[in-house]
Structure 1
Amino acid sequence: MAKMTFITGGARSGKSRYAQQLALSRNRNPVYVATARIWDAEFGQRVDRHRKDRDERWTVLEEEKWLSRLSLEGRVAVIDCVTLWITNFFADLKYDVEACLEACDREIESLLRQDAELIVISNEIGMGLHADTESGRKFTDLQGWINQSLAAKADEAIFMVSGLPLHVK
């Protein structure tokens, strides 16, 4: 079974930086699992900036949805991030929250069967403004439920605030 550290927080709270430092403190050659789907040019630039954050010590794997298909046995892996990962399911499953929950839960359970150390990054999007669209509200609910599930399964949970880690579990 995998050991999981769950890191959550708001946008630009320092989640990725902290997760990468944590991974490097635990292994000299960690894996970085990127879940992003490039939706537009501006987002592509964000991904490029993230790529420059990692040097030759990192093995980078890109996987939009099927994380359990990756061979992470015996590795320390940062999964960045749950929000983008579930966005891919949400879009592909035509905004069906129940279908997304089922697919994501199955994938998480399969991923956790590997003997790996996982550092999983997510966003706390429900602490901001109330979404003004139906799809936005559905996604906020989905994100919250997936985060709750991950936090319950995690060995350690960290909430990032202004670059500072708060250990909540």
Structure 2
Amino acid sequence: MIHLITGGQRSGKSLFAEDLALSLSNQPVYLATSRIWDEAHRERIEIHKKRRGNQWTTIEEEKFLSRHDFSGKVVLLDCITLWINNFFFDNEEDDKKSLQEAIQELEILFDQNCDWIIVTNELGLGGHPENKLAMRFNDLQGSINQYIAKKADRVTLIISGLPLEIKNTL
């Protein structure tokens, strides 16, 4: 199963996804993709870890998610936005390469026999970016979200902490 959870910043996506994962497994995997940018970001990550508690197996992986075997697990991948950001900045001006590399990783992941709960940001709801770099990133984020949504069995949009089911093929 692939369940994509999308929404705006601070919409409640991660809490919804965590509750869902815990309803499916008493020992889910939390696949964290964020790089640590500064001390404030490090503190935020630590708060998230403490909130989750010790029933989670946490794996921190910035880009190469397919290095890990998740067979038979419930995996919460949080989040695609931070993950695609790593490709975006590592590949500098080559957005096509970033998208290709990310899709290659996802194709390998989706072949694993496990349940995926994937969190992403819906950047397209927030208006038009005022600079070229942000616009390029929004385009890349939108493309990867569309790719995952097509592959997903379920898609849920979170608005103000409330889930709205967009797709359910189960």
Other-structure match for 1:18 = 16
CA distance in 1, matches of 2:25, 2:62: 24
The CA distance in 2 between the partners of 1:156 and 1:5, in whole Å, is 5
Partner of 1:63 in structure 2? Answer: 61
Partners of 1:95 and 1:135 within 8 A in 2: no
Partner SS state of residue 168, structure 1 = strand
Residues 7 and 157 in structure 1, CA contact (< 8 A), matched pair in contact too: yes
Match of 1:162 among 137, 153, 160: 160
- Equivalent residue of 2:140, what SS? helix
How many residue pairs match? The answer is 167
Partner of 1:105 in structure 2?
103
Q: Map 1:89-128 onto structure 2 (within 5 A).
A: 89-128=87-126
Deviation string 1:109-153 (CA, Å, 9 cap, x unpaired) is 010010000100000111113111111000000000100010000
The gaps in structure 1 that reach 5 residues or longer are: none
Which residue in the other structure is 2:42 paired with?
Answer: 44
2:149 to 148, 151, 168: 151
Which amino acid in 2 is paired with 1:139?
F
TM-superposition CA deviations, 1:65-93 (whole Å, max 9, x none):
01111110000010000000000000100
Distance 2:122 2:131 in 1: 18
Moved runs in structure 1, 4+ residues, more than 4 A? none
The separation in 1 between residues aligned to 2:111 and 2:51, in whole angstroms, is: 29
Q: Deviations over 1:17-53 (max 9, x none)?
A: 0000000000110000000000112211221121112
Q: Distance in 1 between matches of 2:123 and 2:161?
A: 17
Amino acid aligned to 2:77: I
The TM-score normalised by the length of structure 2 is 0.96
Letter in 1 for 2:51: D
- Distance, in Å, in 2 between the alignment partners of 1:108 and 1:95 is 22
Residue equivalent to 1:86: 84
DSSP-derived class of the 1:98 partner: helix
Give the Cα separation in 2 of the matches to 1:95 and 1:16.
30
CA RMSD in angstroms, aligned pairs only: 0.8
Identity of aligned residues (%): 47
TM-score normalised over the length of structure 1: 0.97
What is the Cα deviation at residue 94 of structure 1?
A: 0.6
